[in-house]
């Protein structure tokens, strides 16, 4: 019955809309006005019915959500949602589904990671000795010399240097000048 | 995505319909030559107790209303009863295509209560038209 009402309302809306256009096209303004009123009435009625239907659905959902729980513990236990069975993808009827590949991929990932770890360990232990020797040799070549790169003040004073150089005398100060003489 | 496409299609159809309607309803004044006239034949149906008594009067009233819309006059003594429910009259000056469409709509419309008029013949005749057309008018 409800579906029939919707069908009738929709047909009336479409028909009145079509006739509205036809009458406007024919310059029959009075008929167009009358049909336009009918079209508006159908439109408002259908929109109101849609809103009411949505409100009823929301009301029903709210009343279902707010229903009191059964007081009896046994009834509450029975009313509780059943836990879904674990590993549903392993059930025989689901083996032909694609989601069975997820655990296969996970297991494959674990295996590949283990193999990679093993290879890395073996390679590291075999190559470490040679690499360390090479590195020590290279470090020895670029090591700083044992003696200082620049002579110290005492060495300069002891060695004399060019006493006639005024720049050097200025740098060494009065002591250098005295020693030189 | 489907919903967007449906809305776009509906908007396109609506726009096309509005443009077509506008093109059809747009009135353009087409100058008619001097001496032209428009002959109209209508049939009138009256839904009242004594239709014969008021049929002609109601039809005359409707014609005088509609001729104002198209800025034309009913030629003197041209309104006549052809058959008990068929009337003919002549309008001057002649109506162009847009005015004819408007006059036809006005006469067929439900402007007068209990009166339903159907246009049987609506033709504009100009002096340049051949004789048969003028004779038919």
A92-105, pLDDT tens digit by residue?
Answer: 666 666 666 777 88
Pick the CATH number of B37-125 from 3.40.50.1980, 3.40.50.1970, 3.30.70.3400, 3.30.1130.10: 3.30.70.3400
- Mutate: best of A23, A27, A37, partner B, most B CBs <10 A: A27
Number of structural domains chain A divides into? 1
In this structure, is residue A145 part of a structural domain?
Answer: no
Torsion sign across C-alpha atoms B6, B19, B101, A27:
positive
> What pLDDT, on the 0 to 100 scale, is given for residue B137?
42
**Every domain of chain B and the residues it spans:** 37-125
The crossing angle, in degrees rounded to 10, of helices B97-108 and B51-69 is: 150
In this structure, is residue A120 part of a structural domain?
Answer: no
Tokens 């005024």 — which residue?
A166
A34 CB within 8 Å of a chain B CB: yes
In this structure, is residue A82 part of a structural domain?
Answer: no
Chain A residues with CB-CB distance to B108 below 8 A: 26, 28
The rounded percent of chain A whose pLDDT value lies above 90 is 34
The pTM of the full predicted model, rounded to 2 decimals, is: 0.54
Cα separation, A83 vs A114, whole angstroms:
34
Q: Which domain holds residue A26?
A: 2-63
Quote ipTM for the complex.
0.77
Chain A closest-CA separation from residue B33 CA (Å)? 25
- Does the pLDDT of residue A181 top 60, yes or no? no
The crossing angle, in degrees rounded to 10, of helices A2-25 and B2-25 is: 30
Across all residues in chain B, what is the average pLDDT? 87
Q: How many Cα atoms sit within 13 Å of B52 on the Cβ side? A: 2
> What pLDDT, on the 0 to 100 scale, is given for residue A163?
59
pLDDT tens for B84-111 read 899 999 998 899 888 999 999 999 998 8
pLDDT tens for A39-95 read 999 999 999 999 999 999 999 888 887 666 556 788 878 888 887 777 776 676 666
């Amino acid at each position: 019955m409800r579906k029939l009402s919707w069908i009738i309302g929709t047909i009336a809306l479409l028909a009145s809309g079509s006739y509205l256009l036809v009458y406007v096209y024919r310059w029959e303004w009075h008929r167009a006005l009358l049909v336009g009123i009918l079209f508006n009435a159908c439109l408002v009625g259908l929109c109101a019915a849609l809103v009411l239907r949505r409100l009823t659905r929301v009301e029903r959902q709210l009343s279902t959500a707010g229903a009191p729980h059964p007081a009896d513990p046994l009834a509450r236990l029975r009313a509780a949602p059943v836990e879904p069975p674990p590993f549903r993808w392993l059930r025989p009827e689901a083996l032909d589904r694609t989601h069975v590949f997820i655990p296969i991929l996970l297991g494959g990932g674990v295996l590949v990671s283990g193999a990679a770890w093993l290879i890395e360990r073996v390679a590291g232990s075999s190559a470490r000795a040679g690499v360390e020797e090479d590195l020590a040799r290279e470090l020895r070549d670029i090591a700083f010399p044992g003696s200082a790169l620049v002579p110290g003040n005492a060495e300069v004073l002891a060695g004399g240097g060019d006493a006639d150089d005024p720049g050097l005398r200025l740098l060494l100060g009065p002591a250098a000048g005295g020693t030189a003489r | 995505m489907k919903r967007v496409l449906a809305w776009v299609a509906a908007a396109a159809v609506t726009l096309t319909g509005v443009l077509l309607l506008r093109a059809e309803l747009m009135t353009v004044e087409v100058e008619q030559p001097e001496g032209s006239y428009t002959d109209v034949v209508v049939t009138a149906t009256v839904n009242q107790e004594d239709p014969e008594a008021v049929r002609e009067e109601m039809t005359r009233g409707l014609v005088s209303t509609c001729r104002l819309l198209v800025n034309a006059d009913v030629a003197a003594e041209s309104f006549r009863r052809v058959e008990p429910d068929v009337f003919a009259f002549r309008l001057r000056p002649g109506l162009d295509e847009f005015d004819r469409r408007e006059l036809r709509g006005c006469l067929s419309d439900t402007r007068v209560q209990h009166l339903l008029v159907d246009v049987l013949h609506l033709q504009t005749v100009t002096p340049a038209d051949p004789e048969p057309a003028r004779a038919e008018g």
